[in-house]
Amino acid sequence: MPARTGEQYIQGISKAKNNVWIHGEKVDDVPSHPAFRNIVRSIANLYDLQHEKADKMLYTSEQTGDKVGLSFIAPKTVDDLIRRREMISEWAGYTGGMMGRTPDYLNTSVMAFGTSGNFFAQNDPMFAENARKYYDYCRENDISLTHTLIHPQTNRSKKQSEQKDPYLSARIVEKNKDGIVVKGARLLATLGGVTDEIVVFPSTLNKASSEDDPYAMAFAIPNNTEGLKFLCRESFDTGRSQWDHPLSSRFEESDAIVVFDNVLVPWERVFVSGSSDICNRTYVETNAIVHMAHQVIAKNTVKTEFVLGVILNMMESIGIDVFPHVKEKASEVMLILETMRSHLYRAEHNASIDKYGNMTPDFAPLNAARNWYPKMYQRIVEIVKILGASGLMGIPTEADFNADDIGELVHRYTQGANIDGYERTQLFRLAWDISISTFGGRQALYEYYFFGDPARMSNIYYDQFNKEPYKAMVKDFLQRDESRVLS
Nearest-angstrom CA–CA distance, 12 and 224: 11
Confidence of residue 161 (pLDDT cuts 50, 70, 90): confident
DSSP state of 18: -
Taking residues 302-308, report their average pLDDT. Answer: 98
Mark the binding-site residues for FAD, compressed into ranges.
147-149, 153-156, 190, 453-456
User: Which residue, 400, 441, 408, is CA-closest to 241?
Assistant: 400
Taking residues 212-224, report their average pLDDT. Answer: 96
Phi/psi at 282 (5° precision): -60, -55
- The percent of residues in the chain predicted with pLDDT above 70, rounded, is 99
Specify the domain boundaries for CATH 2.40.110.10 within the chain. Answer: 6-285
Taking residues 19-48, report their average pLDDT. Answer: 97
The pTM assigned to this predicted structure is 0.95
Mark the binding-site residues for substrate, compressed into ranges.
101-105, 147, 203-204
Nearest-angstrom CA–CA distance, 51 and 380: 33
pLDDT value of position 484: 64
Q: To the nearest 10°, the Cα dihedral for 245, 252, 42, 194?
A: -150
User: Which residue, 343, 422, 441, is CA-closest to 384?
Assistant: 441
Nearest-angstrom CA–CA distance, 304 and 341: 10
Strand ranges (E), 191-282:
197-200, 217-222, 228-232, 255-266, 270-273
Specify the domain boundaries for CATH 1.20.140.10 within the chain. Answer: 287-469
Question: pLDDT per residue over 225-272, tens digit each?
Answer: 999 999 999 999 999 999 999 999 999 999 999 999 999 999 999 999
What is the CATH number assigned to the segment(s) 6-285? 2.40.110.10
Mark the binding-site residues, compressed into ranges.
101-105, 147-149, 153-156, 190, 203-204, 453-456
CB within 8 Å of 9: residues ≥ 6 apart = 43, 44, 47, 142, 144
pLDDT value of position 363: 98
Question: pLDDT per residue over 329-352, tens digit each?
Answer: 999 999 999 999 999 999 999 999
For β-strands 228-232 and 171-175, DSSP reports them as: unpaired
Confidence of residue 207 (pLDDT cuts 50, 70, 90): confident
Taking residues 129-153, report their average pLDDT. Answer: 96
Fold of domain 287-469: Butyryl-CoA Dehydrogenase, subunit A; domain 3 (1.20.140)
